Amino acid sequence: MPGGFGGLVRYSEEYPSRLKMKPAHVIAFIIALVAFVLILKLVFPVAL
Protein backbone atom coordinates (compact mmCIF):
# COMPACT_ATOMS: atom_id res chain seq x y z
CA MET A 1 0.00 0.00 0.00
CA PRO A 2 1.64 3.31 -1.07
CA GLY A 3 2.17 6.07 1.46
CA GLY A 4 0.90 8.85 -0.77
CA PHE A 5 0.14 11.93 1.29
CA GLY A 6 -0.39 10.05 4.53
CA GLY A 7 -4.03 11.08 4.74
CA LEU A 8 -3.18 14.78 4.49
CA VAL A 9 -5.08 16.64 1.82
CA ARG A 10 -4.36 20.29 1.25
CA TYR A 11 -7.27 22.45 0.21
CA SER A 12 -7.07 26.05 -0.88
CA GLU A 13 -7.64 28.15 2.22
CA GLU A 14 -9.11 31.08 0.32
CA TYR A 15 -11.50 30.80 -2.56
CA PRO A 16 -12.22 33.63 -4.97
CA SER A 17 -15.39 35.36 -3.85
CA ARG A 18 -17.83 37.00 -6.23
CA LEU A 19 -18.58 39.73 -3.68
CA LYS A 20 -15.42 41.56 -2.68
CA MET A 21 -15.91 44.34 -0.13
CA LYS A 22 -13.46 46.33 1.92
CA PRO A 23 -13.95 46.31 5.71
CA ALA A 24 -14.67 50.05 5.61
CA HIS A 25 -17.58 49.43 3.23
CA VAL A 26 -19.04 46.80 5.56
CA ILE A 27 -18.84 49.18 8.54
CA ALA A 28 -20.41 52.00 6.50
CA PHE A 29 -23.24 49.68 5.44
CA ILE A 30 -23.91 48.68 9.07
CA ILE A 31 -23.93 52.32 10.20
CA ALA A 32 -26.32 53.22 7.37
CA LEU A 33 -28.59 50.32 8.29
CA VAL A 34 -28.69 51.37 11.96
CA ALA A 35 -29.44 54.98 10.95
CA PHE A 36 -32.23 53.77 8.64
CA VAL A 37 -33.83 51.73 11.43
CA LEU A 38 -33.61 54.65 13.87
CA ILE A 39 -35.22 57.00 11.34
CA LEU A 40 -38.02 54.49 10.77
CA LYS A 41 -38.59 54.29 14.53
CA LEU A 42 -38.85 58.09 14.72
CA VAL A 43 -41.19 58.37 11.75
CA PHE A 44 -43.37 55.38 12.65
CA PRO A 45 -43.41 55.09 16.47
CA VAL A 46 -44.89 51.92 17.91
CA ALA A 47 -46.83 52.36 21.15
CA LEU A 48 -46.73 49.37 23.46
The tens digit of pLDDT for each residue in 1-40 reads: 455 556 666 666 667 778 888 999 999 999 999 999 999 9
What pLDDT was estimated at residue 27?
Answer: 97
What's the chain look like in SS3? CCCCCCCCCCCCCCCCCCCCCCHHHHHHHHHHHHHHHHHHHHHCCCCC
CA distance 28 to 23: 9
What pLDDT was estimated at residue 47?
Answer: 74
What pLDDT was estimated at residue 19?
Answer: 83
Residues with Cβ < 8 Å from 19, sequence gap 6 or more?
none
What pLDDT was estimated at residue 7?
Answer: 62
Residue 42 pLDDT more than 90? yes
